[in-house]
Structure 1
């Protein structure tokens, strides 16, 4: 993951906001970084990048300036392309993207073809155009400030930079700097519905099979055959069994990409090593347990997998770190040991004293969750920050994970009906309302969850990867009817997801 920053300020002064978030940008990209400054008509432009090396033979410095003077800041993982690119296995995403844009020049074509999470800032020197955008699911943070005479775009902010907002993950934004004003035009993803004041130039198609039509009452045999569902019975049903098989196939491919496209060295080593390179945010719930099981299929057999579980001290009960998540993760760990007996599983118990929580919350975490500021944002931000730091007790000794990559189950609840309120909505309002709630929740996660979580986790210099939010997984699950995603037992008021 990278920390990227860009500013355009009318006049000769350089934007000083970078000084407020420079430390956070460097933590996101601890391996290499640089800054460049240019003049564009009446504007002074600053580009800065800090890199965490994940792909390619070696780190590629950013800002990446090509032979024509175009400037690229890229923060993401490109797992595949639906266009022909001139690429070698030794090349980083940054070089591949820069070369394509330099010689092909079609930003819309490239960004609709990339599969993987990203945020991008690109300055086209000849056209005097600035492009800004996030991937269609919004998995990577990008914030901006839009003023009459100043534009700031940054991976991470600071509470002392007022009026920062999440860049909406609804398309690509284009600034024509030759026109003398900082007003974006929007090339909108066709699957989004976004009320805005931006001038929408065109629609870009990305997802092709997302259901948007009206949901009628189901006449599905899964629902009609038996109300007293259990998994063994459901797996005998052809449609349900096929859906399970397809979902597992998509998840396997997603996990494979996210566990094999990494350097052979951990954060502590320069060359290939047998230390843990993958860590999993591990509550012990079904989403993280599945990720651990699938990841074990692709990670080299002699490498450990680090499982990160966090618990907080309560003021009312000092020195007690026993909580439901800790008990669940211990139970799930025993299941993993049975299923994968030759794998070394490192459970890292991350016990956070109350005083340390308060200190890190004030010094660091409140700036990372900004511009979000609710109690829930603070609570989740604290949990993710300490978990992703990866410092705790493993087998009775202090241990800090050397993993470059974190796997997280983010998105599983929104896709597969993991929240208890979904059951209540179905009980009270039916399948159409449940389907609308699924759509509403998924449309909100770029601004409500994903940007915040990306900022918090990557502050510890690790790449956050979210297999449930792979494009193919998302398209498959959201293409199902709601009763295929969420099977409800009317007799026992119990829900089961896929």
Structure 2
């Protein structure tokens, strides 16, 4: 995880190399292990172009802190890289992935200079995009005097742009410097480039040009590539087959269940193995991974698969957040003994979280799990309001804020710790040392977990269900993952999404609908409800019977961050 910031300036308000103390602090929160800056200049016939590149580093790959920005001493080309390239051209990346990417770009730059084509440079980013890995980047190719930038196809890393219309100068950054209307999310629909020296208008930089994500034909995950509207996320056609009358019902021993379990296990293992030990862990058990843990199906399956992947001596933290919502607290009644009801323990996600924690202990008796009860008083929520609003910008609705609150405080990871296998000791104040967080986001979109999927089925049968699923998958790259990245990275954490592994997404797209969710057949046949049935059956196979039957609940309602002040507030309202 890194914080990246790049200024490409003529005589505009962006001129200069210094960044504000507030911005520096926010970038360093994202990457506390190193701060680096590179400045350079392009002389033109009229006004020179000044370029400043800043990177901060959270070291999670390789055996040392790799300094950024990367700079080629021969050509002066510069790379700011914030990502995880798990594999490139089907080969696992050993050591630091940023170094590997920059080495490829240096070679591509030579080929580009020889041929006069941009394709060698674009193909480097496409070779990462076609396999697996979240990323955002800014690359300055000095020989061609061109800036390249972009985000991965699913938008899992933040990158914003702010442009000065007077001369075309622009800033690219992991976070906005101020809540101004000019800041926009960089779209995740391709690689963008700007040729800095233009003969057409030497005093004004041109608009960025978009280059399509075109996976290399040799990529192992590329299946039946579609074109135009048929191609979803630039990956493949979405399987829109209607199930035949004799389509088998999903059961625990169905091949789609076994296949998903194998693939999801691999996706989790990729994201939890070989993480460097966090600094200052003290005498507590070795903990490198934490799970954003509501106790629901998606996150509990990830926690269970962590158990299968991690060495025996590593613990797993389960971050469960609950808020003091004044509006809800006023409605709580005393329990049967006349005692006041604990506003945090009454939160839906706290209730399901504790049940799932107990089930994980039964399924994995020798693994140390820590249930971290993150209790957030209303006063503390208000104290952090301005900070959270600043981090989520340019997102600015009440729903954005309520979701961001839950992620922000969960990622901080401060709460009361309950350790598995230690029922005799009292819970103690605790802050997770884990720098890698796992999120269950994506499972609902891929496997039919939202209520609107059932509504689509009721409206138009499997055709209606398929339309809803296809729409959700196609919008994955436009989801609010950039917002979520900014909120959680503020605490020097990197969030990883096993369900959004490109291979898993592609597999889900190509799988017929009746092998994912199964609304035609009742719960009596397989023992679990139709929504996300294939994943629920995986949970059963993993020994999580109670979790397999858990209902879906949105985070802002489960943690009770929604409508804190008034029940009349709508999620679409702009934050006042």
**In structure 2, distance between residues paired with 1:102 and 1:273:** 43
2:138 maps to what in 1? 121
1:58 paired with 2:64, answer: yes
2:457 maps to what in 1? 426
The question of whether the paired residues in 1 share the 8 Å contact of 2:232 and 2:238 is answered with no
**In structure 2, distance between residues paired with 1:273 and 1:56:** 24
2:326 maps to what in 1? 315
Q: Tell me the TM-score normalised to structure 2 length.
A: 0.76
The question of whether the paired residues in 2 share the 8 Å contact of 1:189 and 1:206 is answered with no
The question of whether the paired residues in 2 share the 8 Å contact of 1:267 and 1:404 is answered with no
1:195 maps to what in 2? none
Structure number with the higher strand fraction is: 1
The question of whether the paired residues in 2 share the 8 Å contact of 1:207 and 1:475 is answered with no
After superposition, the Cα gap between the structure-2 partners of 1:6 and 1:99, relative to the gap in structure 1 and judged at 3 Å, is same
Q: Which has more radius of gyration?
A: 2
Give the ranges of 4+ consecutive aligned residues of structure 1 lying more than 4 Å apart after TM superposition. Answer: 15-20, 205-209, 489-494
1:305 maps to what in 2? 316
2:35 maps to what in 1? 33
Equivalent runs, 1:193-342 vs 2, <5 Å: 210-212=236-238, 215=240, 217-219=242-244, 221-222=246-247, 234-235=251-252, 241-263=254-276, 265-269=277-281, 274-316=285-327, 317=329, 320-321=343-344, 322-342=346-366
After superposition, the Cα gap between the structure-2 partners of 1:405 and 1:130, relative to the gap in structure 1 and judged at 3 Å, is same
Residues 17-75 of structure 1: per-residue CA shift (max 9 Å, x gap): 75553222111101111122221242211110010000012111111111221100000
Q: Please, which moves more after superposition, 12-21 or 450-459?
A: 12-21
Equivalent runs, 1:172-191 vs 2, <5 Å: 172-179=191-198, 180=202, 181-190=205-214
Equivalent runs, 1:5-16 vs 2, <5 Å: 5-11=5-11, 13-14=15-16
Q: Tell me the TM-score normalised to structure 1 length.
A: 0.88
Backbone CA RMSD of aligned residues: 2.6
Which of 396, 401, 404 lines up with 1:373 in the alignment? 396
**Secondary structure of the structure 1 residue equivalent to 2:287:** coil
Equivalent runs, 1:40-51 vs 2, <5 Å: 40=42, 41=44, 42-51=48-57
Q: CA deviation at 1:492?
A: 7.2
Q: CA deviation at 1:495?
A: 2.5
**In structure 1, distance between residues paired with 2:464 and 2:304:** 34
Residues 64-91 of structure 1: per-residue CA shift (max 9 Å, x gap): 1112211000001111111779x7x4x4
**Secondary structure of the structure 2 residue equivalent to 1:113:** helix
**In structure 2, distance between residues paired with 1:459 and 1:399:** 19
Q: CA deviation at 1:216?
A: 5.1
**In structure 1, distance between residues paired with 2:50 and 2:197:** 13
After superposition, the Cα gap between the structure-2 partners of 1:374 and 1:17, relative to the gap in structure 1 and judged at 3 Å, is farther
Q: Please, which moves more after superposition, 479-488 or 56-65?
A: 479-488
After superposition, the Cα gap between the structure-2 partners of 1:323 and 1:207, relative to the gap in structure 1 and judged at 3 Å, is closer
1:110 paired with 2:124, answer: yes
Equivalent runs, 1:385-396 vs 2, <5 Å: 385-395=408-418, 396=427
2:76 maps to what in 1? 69
The question of whether the paired residues in 2 share the 8 Å contact of 1:17 and 1:161 is answered with no
Q: Please, which moves more after superposition, 275-284 or 143-152?
A: 143-152
Residues 311-351 of structure 1: per-residue CA shift (max 9 Å, x gap): 00122427611211111111111111111100111000000
Q: CA deviation at 1:490?
A: 6.3
